[in-house]
Structure formats: C-alpha cells, structure tokens
Amino acid sequence: MSKAENKEPKMDKIENEKCPMCQKNTLTLYETEQDVPYFGKVFLFGMSCSNTECNFKENDVELEKQGEPSKIEFTISNSKDLNVRVIKSSEATVKIPQLKMEVEPGVASDGYVSNIEGLLQRFKKILEAERDTADEDDVRKKAKNLLKRLWKVECGDEELKIIIKDPSGNSAIISEKAVITQFKNKKK
C-alpha cells in the first residue's frame, strides 16, 4: 500500500451553502466514510458555519448496516482501556453512573467516532467549566472532586463504568469487554 492510500479517508465537501441559523451562505457540508476495525463501515456527516457570529455546527454518524436499539456497558479497569474505540450517534445517551453524570441527546447533540479517553475528555470539559465558572462554592468543589476521580481513572487507579444507550443502534464500544443488550424502542 502506498503512502497516499494510507492517508485519512477522502472527505466530500460542499461550501457556501445557506446556514439554517444565520441565513448567510457560510455553511460547509461534509461527509466521509471510515472503516472501523471489527465493526464495519461508518458514515460521518457534518456541517459548520464559518460566520464568527454564528458558529453553528452539527455532526452525526451512521452505520452502513443499521443496528438494533441497544445499551452498551463498558468498565474502564486500566489505562489501556482509554484507547478502546467509541462510536456515538447523535441519538445516544452517555452515562457514568459512579459520577452521577449523564449526557442526553438534544437538538445540538453530536455523533462522533473517538475512544474512551476522548469520551471522558468531553465530560472533563463540562466539569472544568463548572469548576471555573460556578457561583456556588459547593458546585465548584464537587466539580474539582469529580475531576480528581476522572484523573484516577485515566491513571488506571480507579474503575469506571460507561453506559451508552442508543435507540438508533448506531453506537458501539469496540471491545470484547463491552456488554451489549438489545432493547425495544417504546412507541411514542
């Protein structure tokens, strides 16, 4: 395989589209596909506005083969587990029960392909903002304590369970340690 073939997957882009938020022609749409070992092909979609007053962005991920609604549980037990691949759709809820933290899908929810460390970094950003900007001392103190616990997890000194619940079936944690449970979507 040549060096050119070993590069990042080709990304299709459409630029100067009308942004749904600011209505200016500053939106870039992009799409790419990625083969994830032991999982299969995923499609990454996104859009971002280059207008500095808007900065709208949205990302999502879909599987080539549609999955079943599922709950995926994974326990981080050592620092090597931080490298485990994570695919999270925009419809998925991510929970860390021991820290009583949860990110639910919403209008601005993103899908992404990352690893356990990247997923934890997203929670850390939220906690760092709480620590740095909260008005109440007890909120800042709680955020500091949770950040310390995440640091211990990253060092391999503390175990932590991650749960991803996805009604679309487009999420995964690529590890033999992941426990996957299928569930039926409740009709609305």
pLDDT digits (tens, 9 = 90+) for 127-148: 999 999 999 999 999 999 999 9
Q: What is the mean pLDDT of residues 161-178?
A: 93
Spatial CA neighbour of 124 closest among 97, 100, 143? 143
* Residue whose entry in the numeric block shows the structure tokens 């200016």: 24
The total number of structural domains in the chain stands at: 2
- Tokens linked to 89: 């759709």
Check whether residue 137 and residue 164 sit in a common domain: yes
- Other Cβ atoms less than 10 A from the Cβ of 184: the count is 8
- Tokens linked to 132: 């740095």
Residue type at position 39: F
Spatial CA neighbour of 65 closest among 47, 87, 48? 87
Domain harbouring 98, CATH code: 2.60.120.1040
Check whether residue 48 and residue 82 sit in a common domain: no
Check whether residue 82 and residue 49 sit in a common domain: no
pLDDT band at residue 2, thresholds of 50, 70 and 90? very low
pLDDT band at residue 187, thresholds of 50, 70 and 90? very low
Q: Any idea what DSSP says for residue 123?
A: H
Check whether residue 59 and residue 71 sit in a common domain: no
Structure confidence by residue, pLDDT tens digits, 50-94: 999 999 988 877 777 777 899 999 999 999 999 999 999 888 999
pLDDT band at residue 110, thresholds of 50, 70 and 90? confident
pLDDT at 67: 76
Check whether residue 59 and residue 82 sit in a common domain: no
pLDDT score of 186 more than 60: no
Q: What is the mean pLDDT of residues 97-109?
A: 87
Structure confidence by residue, pLDDT tens digits, 9-47: 677 899 999 999 899 999 999 998 887 765 677 788 889
Spatial CA neighbour of 172 closest among 12, 34, 31? 34
Q: Which domain holds residue 128?
A: 66-188
Check whether residue 33 and residue 71 sit in a common domain: no
pLDDT at 43: 83
171 in Cβ contact with 88 (< 8 Å) = yes
Long-range contacts of 26-32 (CB under 8 A, 24+ apart): 26/50, 26/51, 26/54, 27/56
Check whether residue 175 and residue 83 sit in a common domain: yes
Domain harbouring 39, CATH code: 2.20.25
Name residues whose C-beta falls within 8 Å of residue 188's C-beta, 6 or more positions apart in sequence.
none
pLDDT score of 48 more than 90: yes
Check whether residue 82 and residue 129 sit in a common domain: yes
